[in-house]
Homo-oligomer: A and B are copies of this chain.
Amino acid sequence: MRDLKNNVPDSKHEMNDKNVSPGDWVVVITHTGDTFQGTLMPRYASMDKKHVVLKLKSGYNLGISSSKVKSVSKSGHDLGLATNLVDDAKPRLQIWKENVQPVHKIALIGTGGTIASKVDYRTGGVSAALSASEIYDAVPELRKHASIEADFMFNEYSENLEPHHWTLIANRIAEKVRSGGFRGIVVSHGTDTMHYTAAALSFALHNLPIPVVLVGSQRSSDRPSSDAALNLLGATIFSIESPYTGVFIAMHGSTSDDFISCHLGTRVRKNHTSRRDAFESIDRLPIATVKNAVLKIQSQFVKMEIPKRSYNDDAVISEGLENNFEVESKFDPRVTLIKYYPGLDPNLIAYEVKTGSRAIVLEGTGLGHVGRKFFPEIAKAIKSGVLIFMTSQCIWGRTNMKVYDTGRDLIELGVVPLEDMTPETAVVKAMWVMANSHDNAEAVRMMGKNIANEISLTSPISMRLLNYGED
């Protein structure tokens, strides 16, 4: 393999087989008697020299502290070791040195984040990491599935992304779609605000003829437990094989590194700071999973209103454009999200109105409430032409402002409930709506209309298991 640096620990332990080199199928025995088998990986350029890194049969990278390694030796056959660690994983690494010709072409757009550094284990630089050959080296299985045309847009941790970045990304995706020839588009992205961007792209890109799949990683490249390879493989496979179009996020579906979950771009949230399966669909199951490179669509979605690809033959991909593909990529950042809590000062509403907010999304309590001491400021804001929308900090479930006095009073004041939209999707949608509507009446209409599955028409799980009658 070209460019692969030696991963063999320097001199701290006995090398049983001097001919061991990266890419070999090896057995590692530790001083404490543990035994692992996998493909010896090249050392990450940015990593210290304290680990031997094995790629297990699942595709998972296992880092073993060099000080714990007793021996590393080549192995001609599969001993079935470490399978207790990775159940239900088929060997997928044997294609490492195979020359498979991919059938489909995808575009990979790099925007930064942990995953961008991950696919670069040699130079430590990010742009270099996104050449197709380097991606194949990092995730050799990709070669089997796709020919990748990589496009480095920028390199930004996603907490630094602003609404104007959503515009840039949407426009770049539109260029790719219009250029034709891509079976799908994968966007690598920092995980911190990936769900905000996914929602933004969901509203900006109409009638996409192909899927757009955002992907990130929770573990950085200098850690052997990185999830980037499996995520990128899953996102690629979903972008190629998905019968649906639209905007999605593909990330680990469990902590066990065994499958990828694919989420609707407007119904997903980062729900853990560090776990690989941090992204969860809200009030829905993920739309699909990818396990052992096999895509499985969740049956609940088969009858749902998710747009389908209008073609299946790559030769006519550009015809997808007849599908009325459109871009409305403007966002108006003069929208404020306010999370309610006991003690919050109602004057904050007046401040936001004074400093030019055109719309305020409240993250209320429960079914969509704020304390009654907010009513006067809310009434004033609405009278001055500022739109006020209601979501719930519960995250799961639907707002319902008709159950209690508080909710009815707020509706009376003119507060608009946003059904089961997540607060994050709601603030993004409001920014998009304020930039793409002509007046407040149209804005309110657009906010209440389901555009990209951000509003579910029915609850997926019945709440009234035991109720018989009209409760």
- List A residues at the B interface (Cβ < 8 Å): 30, 34, 36, 50-51, 56, 60, 62-65, 68, 85-86, 157-163, 165-166, 191-193, 196-197, 220, 223-225, 255-257, 270-276, 278, 331, 333, 335-345, 347, 351, 355, 363-373, 392, 394-400, 403-406, 423-424, 427-428, 431, 461, 463-471
Contacts and interface: CB of A to CB of B under 8 A. Distances in A.
A465 B82 CA distance: 12
Contacts of A278: 394, 396-397
The oligomer's copy count stands at: 2
Contacts of A365: 158-159, 192-193, 270
Given A271-B395, A339-B339, 12 more contacts: A159-B370, A163-B343, A224-B467, A255-B461, A256-B465, A270-B394, A273-B399, A274-B398, A274-B463, A275-B396, A276-B463, A337-B344
7 contacts: A30-B468, A270-B394, A272-B396, A274-B400, A278-B394, A339-B339, A339-B363
Contacts of A468: 30, 34, 36, 62-65, 68
Contacts of A337: 339, 341, 344
Contacts of A223: 471
A415 to B, nearest CB: 13
Given A256-B465, A400-B273, A342 B470 contact: no
Nearest to A368: B273
A471 B62 CA distance: 9
Contacts of A224: 467, 469, 471
Nearest to A343: B333
A466 B225 contact: yes
B225 A467 contact: yes
Contacts of A333: 343, 345
Nearest to A85: B466
Nearest to A82: B466
A210 to B, nearest CB: 25
Given A157-B406, A274-B398, A372-B160, A193 B342 contact: yes
A166 B257 CA distance: 44
Contact of A341 (B273, B370, B399, B424): B424
A162 B470 contact: no
A471 B63 contact: yes
Nearest to A273: B397
Contacts of A400: 273-274
A164 to B, nearest CB: 9
| Majority secondary structure, A binding face | loop
Contacts of A373: 160, 162
A272 B397 contact: yes
Contacts of A428: 342
A62 B469 CA distance: 9
Nearest to A339: B339
A370 to B, nearest CB: 6
Contact of A162 (B63, B343, B469): B343
A363 B273 CA distance: 12
A428 B165 CA distance: 35
A404 B342 CA distance: 32
Given A68-B469, A159-B370, A468-B34, A275 B463 contact: yes
Contacts of A338: 339
Nearest to A165: B342
Nearest to A32: B468
B255 A366 contact: no
A446 to B, nearest CB: 18
A272 B63 contact: no
A338 B468 CA distance: 43
Contacts of A192: 365-366, 369
Contacts of A464: 225
B270 A366 contact: yes
Contact of A159 (B34, B345, B347, B369): B369
A470 B273 contact: no
